[in-house]
Amino acid sequence: MTTDGGPALRVAMVCPYDLARPGGVQGQARGLSRALRRMGHEVVVIAPHDRVRGWVTEQVYAVGRSLAVRANGSVAPVSVSPLAARRAMAAARDWRAEVVHLHEPLAPVLGYGFLLTGRWPVVATFHRSGVPLAAPLAAPATRWMCDRIQVRVAVSEVARRTAAAWCAGGIEVLFNGLDMDRFSGAFPAASKLPAVVFLGRHEQRKGLGVLLEAFSNSELGAELWVIGTGPDTASLRARYPESDRVRWLGALSDEEAASRLRGASVLCAPSLGGESFGMVLLEGMAARCRVVASDIAGYREAAGGHAVLVPPGDVGALQGALAAALSTPCDSLAIEAAASYAREWSMDRLAQRYVEAYRGAARIWRPGVAGEIPASRALGRAGTKVGRQEPGGNVGPR
């Protein structure tokens, strides 16, 4: 028996992105699998991995190497091998999965076999923001594939609108989950000056260049911690080298990143666009940072009024917001309110919602037969009050 009162499920969680690379979808797949195991369910994560193939542990199966594919202003490390898709299905079969959870089901290529064969009930989560120009050309094929999904979920309203361009039918908005334990137990990193922290991939759409320019052209009386790596790291480091005010920390473990967030005064997320959800904003709130971020749709949805939002790419506005955040006395009530808001997006709460989706998908699935049910019904919404109601019938975490 599990903590939700039902029998334990065996879930194959399929992530199309390389587990050896940092990324939001990979983090969600790992975190959700841990939360489901805490509830008493059994989960295997199936994904590409640059360094190994086969069973990494009893809970992780690597289908093989990934290939960097440009998409949505970024580089996605995905597998494009049909053989990898066959390995993914074989792993789910040998592991005796009862339900399959596909993250980014239309991303190449791990999910395709599950959708084509219909051998398992499928729950799919859409993370992407932004519809490619070629979407109308691919729509007939993608809609056929979406028809093979029993329950469809998006991580935000922005992601739902993107998925709707590919899929006809209902898509429920849930949220990305946050592992609060990472921050409650983290020891704050020390700094000589108040610290502003950037956490993300070093590529144009993340806006790190805008933050570095804002920082270098002002007297903020703070130091900048830059966490992460990416294709723009070398060029940005050449323009803004290591100094007493700019610290390049590279790729950090989850524990090290949490320590830096706990030690920082401000979390800055200056992305220029292409963000379906602002998980990094919630991480900053959970770590009790003040949050300064770009005013883009995915970040507005996550911020909930607990962040200062500025026009994306506006160096002057970003300078002003950082200066105000660093110079204003700490409002402990506002910080605690933001941390309490972040807790509403906990991974454990998200796992409970997905268990409802898994059970709903299994109820209607028939081997090899396409079909879907409204996600709101699969998620057990009838007659219950779950979350706050948003315009258009979408439900947030509260």
- In the structure encoding, which two tokens stand for residue 321, read together? 């917001």
pTM: 0.83
Q: What is the pLDDT, as a whole number, of residue 168?
A: 75
Q: Tokens representing 25?
A: 């979808």
Return the pLDDT at 197.
98
Annotated domain spans of the chain: 10-177+346-393, 181-343
pLDDT for 392: 34
The pLDDT tens digits of the residues spanning 111-135 come to 999 999 999 999 999 998 876 555 5
List all residues 6 or more positions away from 394 whose beta carbon is below 8 Å from its beta carbon: 157, 160, 172, 173
In DSSP terms, 395 is beta-bridged to 389
Q: What number of other Cβ atoms are within 10 A of residue 377's Cβ?
A: 16
pLDDT recorded at residue 137: 56
- Predicted confidence at residue 330, as pLDDT, reads 83
Say which CATH topology domain 181-343 has.
Rossmann fold (3.40.50)
- How much is the pLDDT for 97? 97
Mapping DSSP onto H, E and C, the string for the chain reads CCCCCCCCCEEEEECCECCCCCCHHHHHHHHHHHHHHHHCCEEEEEECCCCCCEEEECCEEECCCCEEEEECCEEEEECCCHHHHHHHHHHHHHCCCCEEEEECCCCCCCCHHHHHHCCCCEEEEECCCCCCCCHHHHHHHHHHHHCCCCEEEECCHHHHHHHHCCCCCCCEECCCCECCHHHHCCCCCCCCCCEEEEECCCCHHHCHHHHHHHHHCCCCCCEEEEECCCCCHHHHHHHCCCCCCEEEEECCCHHHHHHHHHHCCEEEECCCCCCCCCHHHHHHHHCCCEEEEECCHHHHHHHCCCCEEECCCCHHHHHHHHHHHHHCCCCHHHHHHHHHHHHCCEHHHHHHHHHHHHHHHHHHCECCECCCCCHHHHCCCCCCCCCCECHHHCECCC
In angstroms, the CA 328 to CA 240 distance is: 27
At residue 383, the pLDDT reads: 30
What is the structure's pLDDT at 371? Answer: 52
Residue 375's pLDDT is 55
Q: Which CATH architecture has domain 10-177+346-393?
A: 3-Layer(aba) Sandwich (3.40)
**Predicted pLDDT of residue 3:** 84
Q: What averages of pLDDT result for each successive group of 10 residues across the chain (398 residues)?
A: 87 96 90 96 96 93 87 74 95 97 93 93 91 60 86 93 84 92 91 95 95 89 95 96 95 94 97 90 96 95 95 97 92 94 94 96 79 53 34 41
Which pLDDT score is estimated for 378? 58
Q: How far apart are CA 142 and CA 108, in angstroms?
A: 12
